[in-house]
Amino acid sequence: MDLKKICDGCGKTPGQVTGFFATPSTALCGECVMRAAHALLSDRSEAPTVGESKLRAGECGFCGRSADHVTRMVVFPKMFVCNECVFMMIDGLLREKKDHSKFILPSP
Ligand SMILES: [Zn+2]
Ligand SMILES: [Zn+2]
């Protein structure tokens, strides 16, 4: 299976960013992961918006859990990502920051 190579948050490709996280159907670049983490930490409803109320149908693009099963969900234009996956990807970014366009598959 090929991994997706276009970020669902901003449309960038792995070569344009530092850090890239992808599954066959979902992808998020390092920049968008940082934006998501910032939104979670600042607890404000900026873009990407964090809003649990309108997320009943949303599932995390990486782990597949619904908003009911996670603490927080960050909304991107084309996908959702839960707080746990965001922080797992941040962890990956910190470890892999020297390595550009690295694909990391989070485990459920
Ligand atoms: Zn992005
Ligand atoms: Zn998740």
Question: Could you state, in order of their start, the residue ranges of all structural domains in the chain?
Answer: 14-104
Cβ atoms of residues 77 and 10 within 8 Å: no
Whole-number mean pLDDT of the chain? Answer: 81
pLDDT at 72 over 80: yes
pLDDT at 55 over 60: no
What is the pLDDT confidence band of residue 73, given thresholds at 50, 70 and 90?
confident
What pLDDT is attached to residue 95?
82
Q: Which ligand has an atom closest to residue 81 CA? A: 2
State the distance from the centre of ligand 1 to the C-alpha of 38, rounded, in angstroms.
14
**Closest listed residue to residue 36, CA positions, set 13, 15, 10, 16:** 10
Cα-to-centroid distance, 16 and ligand 2 (Å): 24
The percent of residues in the chain predicted with pLDDT above 70, rounded, is 74
Ion ligand 1 neighbours, Cβ < 5 Å: 7, 9-10, 29, 32
Distance of CA 20 from the midpoint of ligand 2 (Å):
15
The model's pTM is: 0.75
Strand partners, 50: 74
Q: How far is CA 26 from CA 42, 43, 44, in A?
A: 25, 24, 24
In the numeric block, the tokens 């969900």 are attached to 73
Peptide bond into 24 cis (omega under 30): no
Average pLDDT of span 59-84? 89
Q: 108: CA distance to ligand 2 center in Å?
A: 8
